[in-house]
Structure 1
Amino acid sequence: MRPELAVPPIYSPIPPAIHPSHPAINAQTTAWAEAIGIGSDELRDRLVQHDIGTFAARVLPDGREAVIGILSDFVLWLFGVDDGYCEEGELGRRPGALMAALQRLLRIAQNPEAPMLLDDPLAGGLRDLQRRISQHGSVGQTALWVNALREYFSTVVWEAEHRSTGTVPDLNDYTLMRLYDGATTVVLPLLEMGHGYVLQADERDQKPVRAAAEMASFIITWDNDLFSHHKESRGPGYYLNVVRVLEHEYQLSPSQALDLAIAQRDRVMRLFLRLHERLLPAASPQLRQYLHNLRTFIRGAQDWGISSVRYTTPEDPASLPTAFRETPTDTSDKPLDIPAIAWWWDLDLLAEPHLAGATQAAGSPPSPRQRTA
Structure 2
Amino acid sequence: MAHGLTAVPPIFSPYRAAIHPRHEAVDRHTAVWAGSFGIGSPELRASLVTHNIGTFAARILPEGREEVVEILSDFVLWLFGVDDGYCEEGDLGRRPGALLGALSRLLRVAQNPEAPMLLDDPLARGVRDLHARISTHGTAGQVARWVDALREYFLSVVWEAEFRSQGSVPDLNDYTLMRIYDGATSVVLPLLEMGHGYELQPYERDRTDVRAAAEMAYFVICWDNDLFSHHKESRTGRYYLNVIRVLEQGLGIGTDQAVTLAIAQRDRVLCLFVRLCARLRRQGSPQLRQYLTSLESFIRGAQDWGISSRRYTTPDDPADLPVAFRDAPTDDSQEPLDIPAVAWWWDLLPREDADRTARTTGHRSPVFTLRPAAALRTA
Fold match by TM threshold 0.5: yes
Residue 250 of structure 1: CA displacement? 1.2
1:147-186 counterparts in 2 under 5 A?
Answer: 147-186=148-187
1:1-373 counterparts in 2 under 5 A?
Answer: 2-349=3-350
- RMSD, aligned α-carbons: 1.5
For 1:324, what is the secondary structure of its paired residue?
strand
Residue 51 to residue 304, structure 1, CA distance change in 2 (3 Å): same
Residue 144 of structure 1: CA displacement? 0.2
- Paired amino acid for 2:156: T
**d(CA) in 2 for partners of 1:304 and 1:244?**
23
For 2:108, what is the secondary structure of its paired residue?
helix
Conservation of the 8 A alpha-carbon contact between 1:11 and 1:266:
yes
For 2:5, what is the secondary structure of its paired residue?
coil
**d(CA) in 1 for partners of 2:213 and 2:350?**
12
**d(CA) in 2 for partners of 1:9 and 1:317?**
17
Identical amino acids, percent of aligned pairs: 70
**d(CA) in 2 for partners of 1:324 and 1:264?**
16
For 1:341, what is the secondary structure of its paired residue?
helix
**d(CA) in 2 for partners of 1:349 and 1:136?**
39
**d(CA) in 2 for partners of 1:165 and 1:248?**
15
1:75-126 Cα offsets, whole Å, 9 max, x none, are: 0000000000000000000000000000000000010011111110000000
Conservation of the 8 A alpha-carbon contact between 1:58 and 1:296:
yes
- Paired amino acid for 2:202: A
Residue 251 of structure 1: CA displacement? 1.1
Conservation of the 8 A alpha-carbon contact between 1:208 and 1:349:
no
1:169-219 Cα offsets, whole Å, 9 max, x none, are: 000000011110000000011000001101000100111101110000000
- Paired amino acid for 1:235: T
4+ runs of 1 displaced by more than 4 Å? 348-352
- Paired amino acid for 2:8: V
- Paired amino acid for 1:237: R
For 2:186, what is the secondary structure of its paired residue?
coil
Conservation of the 8 A alpha-carbon contact between 1:306 and 1:320:
yes
- Paired amino acid for 2:198: Y
**d(CA) in 2 for partners of 1:342 and 1:17?**
31
Any gaps of 5 or more consecutive residues in structure 1? 353-361, 364-373
Residue 58 of structure 1: CA displacement? 0.3
For 2:180, what is the secondary structure of its paired residue?
helix
1:33-64 Cα offsets, whole Å, 9 max, x none, are: 01011011100000000000000000000110
Any gaps of 5 or more consecutive residues in structure 2? 354-359, 362-379
**d(CA) in 1 for partners of 2:86 and 2:209?**
35
Conservation of the 8 A alpha-carbon contact between 2:5 and 2:256:
no
1:274-323 Cα offsets, whole Å, 9 max, x none, are: 01111111210110110000000000000000000000000000111011
**d(CA) in 1 for partners of 2:351 and 2:101?**
45
Residue 70 to residue 173, structure 1, CA distance change in 2 (3 Å): same
**d(CA) in 1 for partners of 2:352 and 2:251?**
36
- Paired amino acid for 2:188: V
Conservation of the 8 A alpha-carbon contact between 2:56 and 2:305:
yes
For 1:119, what is the secondary structure of its paired residue?
coil
Conservation of the 8 A alpha-carbon contact between 1:149 and 1:186:
yes
For 1:334, what is the secondary structure of its paired residue?
coil
Conservation of the 8 A alpha-carbon contact between 1:219 and 1:269:
yes
**d(CA) in 1 for partners of 2:6 and 2:146?**
36
